[in-house]
Amino acid sequence: MGDLASIEERAQRVLDGMTVNREAFARDVLRLSKATRRLRDEVVRLQPQASGKGGDAFIDIFGDIFGGRGNG
């Protein structure tokens, strides 16, 4: 998988109507999705152990990504 900047650049090219290697881009998106799921699962696993202060703020901000009650 390429670095995030190159993936973002390719995504922008797609949005701009340019041609990109769709197969490579799809593989990168799937890898990012799997990495996000792993991170979300880890956050959920660690959430009960978090001390009260700051834990709720994290879920308020990132809850839509990592599960929980986020704003999205």
- Give the model confidence (pLDDT) of 4-54 as tens digits: 888 889 889 999 999 888 899 899 999 999 998 898 888 888 876 555 555
Higher-confidence position of 28 and 55: 28
What's the pLDDT at 55? 58
Query: How far from each other are the two terminal CA atoms of the chain, in whole angstroms?
Result: 28
Domains of the chain by residue range: 4-64
CA angle 54/51/43 to nearest 5° reads 75
Q: What is the pTM of this model?
A: 0.54
